[in-house]
C-alpha cells in the first residue's frame, strides 16, 4: 500500500511595505546637528588638552622611561646574585651601591678636570691663540684658501673678541643657560637613580600586576613572553654598557700614550657616546679628534686613525659577539630601528629602539605566528 503525500510549497518571503500611513510604527531618524557638533568640539578640546599635558610632562615621562630602562638592565645582575643564594633586597642594595659608586666616581674624576682645563684656558688664552695661529695646520689651511694670513687674521679677531670682557658679558645668558643645564642634568640624574631603585625593588610586583590585565587562560603564555622580553632588554643594556666600557678603557690608554689633552675626560666622552648605537662611536671619535688638535695636528691625526681602526673592530668583532647573545635582531632591522628611534625620540629613542624591535620580534614569534598556525 503506497501513501502519497502532498508537497507543501514554501511560502514566499514577506516583503516590507512602505506606506505613507500615519499609523506606521517605523523609527523616525532625527539628526541633532548641534549636539553632534558640540560633542565633537568637546572631543577635539579634550584631545588638545591631553596633548598639552603630555607635552608638559615630557621631561617626567623621559625620566620614567630611562629609569625603567635602567632597571630592566640591572635586573639580570640582581637575578644572578639571587641565584647564588642572596636575598633580593641584599642583591638590590649591592647592585645599586655599585651604580652610585660609579656615578660618584665619574663626577669626582671629571669635574676637577673640567675646572682645571677651564682655568688653564682662561689664564693662558693669549698663548693658546698665538700657538694656534703659528701651527702647521693653520698654515696648511691658509695655502688651501689662497691667502697666507686669512685664517690667522680670523683666529686673531676671534681671540680678541673673546678676550674683551664686554663681549663676554653678552654671552652671560648663554653661560647661565649652560650652568642651568648642568644643574638640571645632575638633578635629572638623581631623579633617575631614585626611580631606578624603586623600579628595581618592585619589578616583580609590577609584572604580576600587569599580568592581571590578561585573561587567566592566557597568563602563563603572557608571563613567558614578558620574561623573555625583559630579559632581552636587560641583556641589551648590559651589552651596550660593555661596549662603552671597552671603548672608554682603550681610549684612556691610547690617548694617554699619544699625549692628548685631558685623556680621562676624552675617555669618558668615548664611553658616553658609545652607548648610542650606530652613530655614537663615530660622533665621539670626531669630537675627540677635534679636541686633540689643541695638542698638535699629529696627535689629532693619530687619534683619528686609531678610531677608524677601532670602529672596524667594534663593528665586525666586538658588537656581533656581545649583541648576538643579547638580542636577535637582523642587521637591516637594527639600522632601521636606530634611525627611526633617533628621529622620533633623539638619543633616548636611539637607545631604546633596538630592544623595542627585539621585543616586537619576540611577540611576533611567540604570539602572532602560533595563533596564525592554529587557524
pLDDT tens-digit map of 93-134: 888 888 888 778 777 777 777 677 667 766 666 666 666 666
| Mean pLDDT score of the chain | 74
Domain boundaries, the chain: 55-213, 217-368
Cell 628611534 found at: 341
Q: Report the alpha-carbon distance of residue 358 to residue 309 in Å, rounded.
A: 29
Average confidence (pLDDT) over 183-187: 70
Q: Report the alpha-carbon distance of residue 120 to residue 368 in Å, rounded.
A: 61
Q: Report the alpha-carbon distance of residue 270 to residue 244 in Å, rounded.
A: 7
Cell triple for residue 46? 579634550
Q: Is the pLDDT of residue 152 over 60?
A: no
Instruction: Specify the pTM.
Output: 0.65
Query: Cβ(118)–Cβ(276) under 8 Å?
Result: no
Q: Is the pLDDT of residue 278 over 80?
A: no
Q: How confident is the model at residue 76 (pLDDT cuts 50, 70, 90)?
A: confident
Amino acid at each position: 500500500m503506497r501513501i502519497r503525500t502532498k508537497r507543501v510549497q514554501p511560502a514566499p518571503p514577506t516583503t516590507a511595505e512602505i506606506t505613507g500611513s500615519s499609523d506606521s510604527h517605523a523609527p523616525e531618524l532625527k539628526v541633532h546637528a548641534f549636539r553632534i557638533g558640540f560633542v565633537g568640539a568637546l572631543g577635539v578640546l579634550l584631545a588638545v588638552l591631553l596633548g598639552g599635558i603630555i607635552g608638559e610632562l615630557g621631561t617626567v615621562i623621559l625620566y620614567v622611561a630611562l629609569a625603567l630602562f635602567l632597571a630592566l638592565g640591572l635586573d639580570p645582575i640582581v637575578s644572578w646574585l639571587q641565584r647564588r643564594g642572596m636575598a633580593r633586597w641584599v642583591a638590590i642594595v649591592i647592585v645599586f651601591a655599585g651604580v652610585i659608586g660609579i656615578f660618584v666616581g665619574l663626577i669626582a674624576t671629571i669635574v676637577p678636570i673640567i675646572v682645571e682645563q677651564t682655568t688653564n684656558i682662561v689664564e693662558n688664552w693669549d698663548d693658546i691663540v698665538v700657538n694656534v695661529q703659528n701651527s702647521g695646520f693653520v698654515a696648511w689651511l691658509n695655502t688651501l684658501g689662497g691667502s697666507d694670513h686669512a685664517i690667522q687674521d680670523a683666529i686673531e679677531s676671534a681671540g680678541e673678541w673673546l678676550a674683551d670682557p664686554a663681549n663676554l658679558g653678552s654671552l652671560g645668558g648663554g653661560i647661565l643657560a649652560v650652568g642651568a643645564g648642568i644643574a638640571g642634568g645632575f638633578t635629572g640624574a638623581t631623579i633617575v637613580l631614585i626611580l631606578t631603585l624603586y623600579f628595581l625593588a618592585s619589578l616583580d610586583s609590577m609584572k604580576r600586576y600587569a599580568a592581571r590585565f590578561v585573561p587567566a587562560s592566557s597568563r602563563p603564555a603572557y608571563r613567558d613572553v614578558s620574561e623573555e622580553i625583559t630579559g632581552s632588554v636587560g641583556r641589551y643594556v648590559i651589552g651596550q654598557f660593555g661596549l662603552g666600557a671597552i671603548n672608554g678603557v682603550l681610549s684612556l690608554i691610547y690617548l694617554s700614550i699619544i699625549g692628548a689633552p685631558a685623556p680621562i675626560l676624552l675617555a669618558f666622552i668615548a664611553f658616553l657616546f658609545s652607548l648610542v648605537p650606530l652613530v655614537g662611536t663615530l660622533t665621539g671619535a670626531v669630537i675627540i679628534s677635534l679636541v686633540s688638535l689643541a695638542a698638535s695636528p699629529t696627535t689629532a691625526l693619530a687619534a683619528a686613525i686609531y678610531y677608524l681602526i677601532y670602529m672596524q673592530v667594534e663593528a665586525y668583532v666586538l658588537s656581533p659577539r656581545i649583541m648576538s647573545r643579547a638580542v636577535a635582531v637582523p642587521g637591516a632591522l637594527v639600522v632601521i630601528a636606530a634611525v627611526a628611534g633617533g628621529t622620533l625620540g633623539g638619543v633616548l629613542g636611539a637607545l631604546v629602539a633596538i630592544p623595542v624591535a627585539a621585543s616586537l620580534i619576540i611577540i611576533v614569534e611567540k604570539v602572532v605566528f602560533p595563533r596564525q598556525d592554529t587557524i
